[in-house]
Structure 1
């Protein structure tokens, strides 16, 4: 398990223990984190699980696949250098302490 911190747009944060093998998105959905819509359920086809990885992150993240890279151009909020789709971030113990910031909207 890894503790993942989800920071919403107004600055409130929620820390969730996410099981190894789940995605950062699934951890949010299973625990009712508002701000992650996940319309496609993790299939990397909707972009409604967009997050901004904390700029101070030193955790090893999965490489960005071409499909994720393309979808990030069509998210509801601005794509930034640290934008990722949380469905494409598999959780492992190495991600313990990861902080992600949620955009103001997903749709």
Structure 2
């Protein structure tokens, strides 16, 4: 299990333990994280699972792949340097302690 922290636009936080191998969109939905919708079910067709990896957590989430990059260009709240689709972030030991900001 890895620890994931979601940060709402108002600064409130919710922490959960997530099973390794689960994508962080599904984890957010499982833990009722407001602002992560996942309309397309993780097929990279909607960008409603957009999050920003908090650079302050010191955990690099890697660069988006080309298709994810295209979807990030149309996110509702604007893309940042650390924007990712949470459906493309897979829980792994390297991401333990990651902080994901919900845009809004």
TM-score category (smaller protein): over 0.9
Instruction: Tell me the TM-score normalised to structure 2 length.
Output: 0.94
Who is 1:5 aligned against?
5
Aligned pairs for 1:1-107 (under 5 A) are: 1-104=1-104
| Structure 1 Cα separation of the partners of residues 103 and 60 of structure 2 | 22
Cα pair 2:53 2:61 within 8 Å, conserved: no
Deviation (angstroms), 1:62: 4.5
Structure 1 gaps of 5+ residues are: none
| Structure 1 Cα separation of the partners of residues 83 and 91 of structure 2 | 17
Cα pair 1:62 1:88 within 8 Å, conserved: no
Cα pair 1:55 1:82 within 8 Å, conserved: yes
Instruction: Tell me the TM-score normalised to structure 1 length.
Output: 0.91
| Structure 2 Cα separation of the partners of residues 3 and 94 of structure 1 | 11
Q: Give the match's secondary structure for 2:73.
A: helix
CA RMSD for the aligned pairs? 1.1
Matched length: 104
Cα pair 1:51 1:102 within 8 Å, conserved: yes
Cα pair 2:57 2:97 within 8 Å, conserved: no
Q: Give the match's secondary structure for 1:15.
A: strand
| Structure 1 Cα separation of the partners of residues 78 and 31 of structure 2 | 25
